[in-house]
A and B are shown apart, each in its own frame.
Chain A
């Protein structure tokens, strides 16, 4: 194959015929100093904050600081080829990124340029990176569930479409894993996913992309990468770019899920920029408007009113804490902005409780409104029960003799903790979640040895889908639990109990908890 030169000539000819000369009017300035991803520019008297500027070398920048005598520009590209004295022109445009279905399955940088070597992204649609979030009258309350496929989350801290749920925890506690599971679980929900990797190792991001590919999740996912070696300006704008790409779906009545992994690193990039721009440092040397930096980003995640199509952006911002310090500046800021948080604890993680969610201090401010009725019925008091179980368990470690009622609560707690454990990249359908949590909370597992709970769960779900599909289908259809259905599920659990190898009475009685 070779290029057909006649075709190219005809395209060029058409362009020449249509070309009209015009006077190019532009505001210009000159670079005073450049370095570390920022430039000070003299001139550009009429430039506006957030306006894109273009350097003579072709690199673009963003007017960031408007000072009395100069303009601070953040450089979105290679700043090593910009020289002192170089001309800078204002473009009169805001920074925008390509949007649309063409981005699905692609890995792009924060400006929308492809990074995956799969060729250019052909789309004419663009959206501004920075926009004002939808107002009060343009929204509706969050009420539609977004299933993450993680039992502990869907049962205890449910997430609704349009909600902002923070995932917070120390390093290596499984924060990204939860977000990836949530993305994988959207395979049949029609929710488009955007994974924004900020300041991460490229190898880690490559691993995430590979996993998304393996599970087929890349078909509906766009990955926006601004790695650890990317200049701070690009790390700073990456979450805004990801949100702009997601807004294309929200404003067209669709649903999107955005994962910001993680906003602590974005705050650090913003701090770097601000300090280089000589903005006054505040607490922990962050600039005073770092709260606004995150609030204006997360406010863009919303559930639009029915009149505007009812689209939504759900966001899962991730914050990494140091030694569990949630009262640091950035964690408290983001906790106060979001509609709840999933708190992951290292000691739970190392004790084998995965996801290592601390049920006591993890909350979802949307609550039961973002759950299907069946889940609400089976998991109603689960969060508080688990929290009180943890207190009891700590007390029981002292070796004191417990009354039978307390011992029974402890036994139930051990089994529930075991039941809520879940393997990575194995999100569970909400119907299956309801079935197993029903069994746990109604005491059907009380006689089962703790170490066999996970085996029971796996086989029980196979049993339900193979031998009792009608019960499962009824639950999937009704999404609610009436007395009749509960009786059917109870009977199915009893029936499975007799089949479950090793669950006979003798073995159960000899088993130690």
Chain B
């Protein structure tokens, strides 16, 4: 997966569950149509290049793709003119099918889904490793090794430095979060102390009260 796609994915804040569901269907069909794993990898690379080289650089083309004022046939014509010499037949056909179905406006999401699906097929998982401060390379590799064992998949690690954690780390892999940060431990300790003190006061209120000095 290219960096361009990752950056764009992160910047898109509006998330539509229905579009995601639809995109997954197209992504799955596209990858399956590509054939063997090498061809699937090639397709994903080409689609990522479409995002980074075309969609990100020429914002207007995305507006055209999603416009209802431009007919599907015209969009297919644009695809032919723009990508005929730069994309493989499989990739171009895939884009044309999407265009004919009037789903070119969801192209970014479809490509994102294709990347996610390809990751699953490669048994890879995106991991965000949040650290309080930089650690040496050997320790980082050791952590990645442990994560690979724990997740039973190849982790694609993105390291983020966040001094607010004070110490420790937070690992986020998909929906699962492993939080071993000092910040969270301190927060837990704070909550536990408050709860314990309230409980003790409720159970033995007289022990905690003393007469005011007159």
Binding site for B on A (CB under 8 A): 1-4, 7-8, 11-12, 14-16, 19, 21-29, 32, 40, 42-46, 67-70, 85, 89, 120, 122
| Chain A residues within 8 Å of B20, by CB | 69
| Chain B residues within 8 Å of A28, by CB | 172, 175-177
- Closest Cβ of chain B: how far from A277's Cβ, in Å? 13
Q: Are A120 and B179 in contact (CB under 8 A)?
A: no
| Chain B residues within 8 Å of A8, by CB | 197, 200-201, 208
* Residues A3 and B209 in contact in the complex (CB < 8 Å), given A16-B193, A28-B177: yes
Which single member of A24, A43, A67, A89 contacts B188 (CB below 8 Å)? Answer: A24
| Chain B residues within 8 Å of A21, by CB | 180, 185
Q: Are B180 and A4 in contact (CB under 8 A)?
A: no
Quick one: which of B178-214 are within 8 Å of A by CB? 178-180, 184-185, 188-189, 192-193, 196-203, 207-212
Flag whether B68 is at the interface (Cβ < 8 A).
no
* Residues A43 and B175 in contact in the complex (CB < 8 Å), given A19-B189, A32-B17, A122-B202: yes
- B contacts with A: majority SS: helix
Q: Is the interface on chain B under 10, 10 to 19, 20 to 34, or 35 or more residues?
A: 20 to 34
| Chain B residues within 8 Å of A1, by CB | 209-212
- Closest Cβ of chain B: how far from A91's Cβ, in Å? 13
Q: What are the 3 closest A-B residue pairs judged by CB atoms, nearest first? A: A24-B179, A69-B17, A23-B180
- Closest Cβ of chain B: how far from A126's Cβ, in Å? 14
28 CB < 8 A contacts A-B:
A1-B209, A1-B210, A1-B211, A1-B212, A2-B210, A3-B209, A3-B210, A4-B209, A7-B200, A7-B207, A8-B208, A15-B196, A16-B189, A16-B193, A22-B185, A23-B178, A24-B180, A25-B176, A26-B179, A27-B175, A27-B177, A28-B175, A42-B17, A43-B175, A68-B21, A69-B20, A69-B21, A122-B202
Whole-angstrom CA separation of A120 from B189 in the bound complex: 22
Whole-angstrom CA separation of A19 from B172 in the bound complex: 25
Q: Are A25 and B211 in contact (CB under 8 A)?
A: no
- Closest Cβ of chain A: how far from B207's Cβ, in Å? 6
Whole-angstrom CA separation of A27 from B178 in the bound complex: 9
Task: Name which residue of chain B comes closest to A9, CB basis.
Answer: B197
Which single member of A23, A67, A85 contacts B179 (CB below 8 Å)? Answer: A23
Task: Name which residue of chain B comes closest to A10, CB basis.
Answer: B200
Binding site for A on B (CB under 8 A): 13, 15, 17-18, 20-21, 172, 174-180, 184-185, 188-189, 192-193, 196-203, 207-212
Task: Name which residue of chain A comes closest to B169, CB basis.
Answer: A23
| Chain A residues within 8 Å of B18, by CB | 69
| Chain B residues within 8 Å of A85, by CB | 13
Task: Name which residue of chain A comes closest to B24, CB basis.
Answer: A69
* Residues A11 and B209 in contact in the complex (CB < 8 Å), given A45-B175, A120-B202, A122-B202: no
Q: Are B175 and A4 in contact (CB under 8 A)?
A: no
| Chain A residues within 8 Å of B13, by CB | 85
Whole-angstrom CA separation of A163 from B81 in the bound complex: 77
| Chain A residues within 8 Å of B185, by CB | 21-22
